[in-house]
Each structure stands twice: as structure tokens, then as C-alpha cells.
Amino acid sequence: MVRLVRSFPLSMQHVFAMFGATVLVPYLTGLDPGAALVASGVATLLFHWVTGGKVPAYLGSSFAFIAPLALFVKQQHVPGAAVLGLLSVGAVYLIIAIIIRAFGFARIRRVIPAVVAGPVVSIIGLSLATTAVSNMAAQHWDAALVSLVAAIAASLAGRGMLRILPLLAGIAAGYVYSAARGFVDFTALREAAWFAWPHLVWPSGHAAAVLAMAPIALVTIIEDLGHMFVLNEILGRDVTTDPGFDRILVGNGLATCASALLGGPAQTTYAENLGVLALTRQFSSRIIQGAAVIAILLGLIGKVGALIHTIPAAVMGGISILLFGMIAGMGIRHMVEEGVDLANMKNLIIVAVIFILGVGSSNNGIAYATLAGLLVYWIFPDSDKRRSGAGRSGGGI
């Protein structure tokens, strides 16, 4: 019981981190937000079961599939087609996992040097900067700054539980300030039902949905690999070796299939929650699993989920500035630790290409940037062979 009481606020931090993005996707695509919360919780628990609890990641709604989901659910009103498309995405994950298992991930690891991996980690955080600043914090900068300063103070000057709960401290301070200023809208809380149950959706035969969604899985797999780069840096160990990237893909594929049948969107590991790990240094998978259980309850108890929804976007924006910035810093730290020489022109060009493509592209920028960085690294010759080009061997992952 004592352990449960201690871990509950730690789990709630992950719930706050994933909540906005997880419910935004169903709002944009016509899916049920409650079902999306239940699906994300079930998907996360399934992922942890497949990976043996060795990958402390939270799975939430993927933004990569918004366009095709909106087409089939919101516009054409054929949710069964969307389910079939998402099941095909899960199948692609499983096929790629089998290929990796057959040929070994070590070969892929040697292909991705630190000079590529580091910037990719950074752009995972930097690509979310607009969301944190322009779309969220800019609505009420004063509330955002209160949240940000409170979270920083708790992390650097707090003691005991406060030091490992900087996210909750920041949200609490920002929420109280926002309520006092009249920024909190309780309409959603008043209108929400007490209980709701997600409707199971069965697939229907629409080949167009498969053609629209299955290829996107190849892009999201690259993004998942980038998230594992971040997680490796945070944990100080290689999750692509143990439990292995093949098992990670199997977990993600099965999670997406389960989510589809529950009426939710495709699932992906969340950078927001990786930021929570980096900030709190609390790596127990039990904490993430607790967040998954809470998400399921939030999806079923409408009033509780609506209460979280009353948190002003500016408050979460202030917190997100810190979370996303931590991820960006992880990539820079990775290059420093692996001895990447940025005085080398080829290395500098690789970093430049990855940064601008990753931050400047609105759709699938991380995947494009990763591929571009690898092409520059492997195709073009090194202008200065005397310098260390990519960092230590095998340091990319």
C-alpha cells in the first residue's frame, strides 16, 4: 500500500504528459476520446508485457495517421475501414520485426553512427517546440511561466518527493494561478458523463484503407527507433539490445491492433513521457504501467477525464517547454559523450541537414531527416580523414 501511494503521483505525471496529445488525435479524426484513452492504456500494458517491462515507455495516439483516419472516420463514416487499415499497420510492424530477428539488429546499429543518432534525438524534442510555445504557452504566457518556473524550482531546489514530482508541482502552481485569473473553463467538466464504455469496432473490407495506412508504418518505425535512441540516453543502457528492437516492434504492432479494435488510433511511444523520465530520473516500468491503468479509468470515468481536460493549454505549454528541451539536450549530450567532432565539415553538414529537415518539416520530418543524414554519411566522402568522423564505433544507438 505504501508503495502504491508513493507511485501514484509519479504515474499521474505521465498521465498529464500524455493526456493532451492522446485525446487530440481522436478529436481531429472523429474517434471517441474516451476510447482513445482506454486504448492507450491497454496498448501500453500490452507493450510492457511483450517487452518484459524492460522498456519504460508510454504509448499514446500517433499523429502520423491523422489524415487517413479523418478521411475514413470523419468524412466517409466507415470506421471499420479505419480499423482494417490500422490492423495492416500492426502487420507491417510484425513483418519488420521478423526481418530484424532473422538478420540481427547489430547490422542496423552499425549503419547508424552517433553523428546521425545524436541530432535525430535532438529534433524529436525540437520538432515539438512549436506545439509547446506557439500552440500552447502563447495563449497565456504568464500562466506558462508560472508552471515552468515552479517545475524548475521543484527539480533543482525541491527536497524529498517534491524533487521527483516537478511536473505535478508545475501543473499545480499553474492551475491555481490560472483559476485565480479566470483562465480555467469548467464547461467540459459539467457536460461530461460519469461513466462511458468504448464501443468495439470490427474491420470491414476496404483495400484503400490498407494502401493509405500500411506504408506510413515504415515512417513511424523510424520514429520509434529515434525514441529508443532517447531512451538509451536516459537509461544509460541499450533497450534495442535487451529486450531487442524486434520485440519493441512486436509490442508496438500488437498495441496498435488492440487499439484499433477498441476504437482507438494507431499507437506510438511518446516523447512527452520520455521527457518525464529524463526530468524525474524515475525509471520503474511499474510507474508507467500505473499511468496506463489510470488512463483506462479516465476513459471509463468521464468526469475525471474532463477534470484533467480543464487544465489550460498554457499550463501544459510551460511544462512542455521543459520536457521537450530536455529531449533536445539529450541528443547534444550523446554527441559529446561519443566524441563527435563538429570541427569536421562532413559531420557539421550532417547535423545541419538533420536539424533543418527535422524541425522544418511538418509531416514525418524525423523520418526524412534520419534518412537524409544517413545518405550524407554513407554516400559522401569525409573531407578530413584525420578527424574522428562519427564518434566511437557502434555509438549511434
Per the model's pLDDT, the better-predicted residue between 267 and 309 turns out to be: 267
Residue 147 near residue 173 (C-beta atoms within 8 A): yes
- Please provide residue 385's backbone torsions phi and psi, each rounded to the nearest 5 degrees: -65, -20
Give the Cα separation of 351 and 369 in Å (integer): 10
DSSP state for residue 393 in the 8-state scheme? T
Give the Cα separation of 102 and 85 in Å (integer): 26
> In this structure, which amino acid lies at residue 321?
I
User: Taking all residues of the chain, what is their mean pLDDT, rounded to a whole number?
Assistant: 83
pLDDT above 90: residue 46: yes
The domain ranges of the chain are 2-315
Give the Cα separation of 132 and 272 in Å (integer): 11
- 330-383 per-position pLDDT tens digit: 788 888 878 888 889 999 999 999 999 988 876 667 778 888 998 999 898 876
305 HSE (CA, 13 A, CB side) = 27
pLDDT confidence of residue 291: 94
For the range 375-383, what are the long-range contacts, defined as Cβ-Cβ under 8 Å and sequence gap of 24 or more?
A: 376/346, 376/349, 376/350, 377/113, 377/115, 377/116, 377/346, 377/350, 378/111, 380/346, 381/346, 382/344, 382/346, 383/344, 383/345, 383/346
% of the chain residues with pLDDT over 90: 25
Confidence tier at 393 by pLDDT (50, 70, 90)? very low
SS3 227: helix
pLDDT above 70: residue 212: yes
pLDDT above 70: residue 385: no
| DSSP percent split of the chain into helix, strand, coil, nearest 5 | 75, 0, 25
Q: Which of 204, 270, 226, 247 is nearest to 358 (CA)?
A: 226
pLDDT confidence of residue 395: 46
* Sequence-distant (≥ 6) Cβ neighbours of residue 245 within 8 angstroms: 97, 100, 105, 108, 225, 228, 239
pLDDT above 70: residue 84: yes
pLDDT confidence of residue 171: 85
- 269-312 per-position pLDDT tens digit: 988 888 888 888 888 899 999 999 999 998 888 777 677 778 88
Per the model's pLDDT, the better-predicted residue between 135 and 190 turns out to be: 190
- Please provide residue 396's backbone torsions phi and psi, each rounded to the nearest 5 degrees: -70, -25
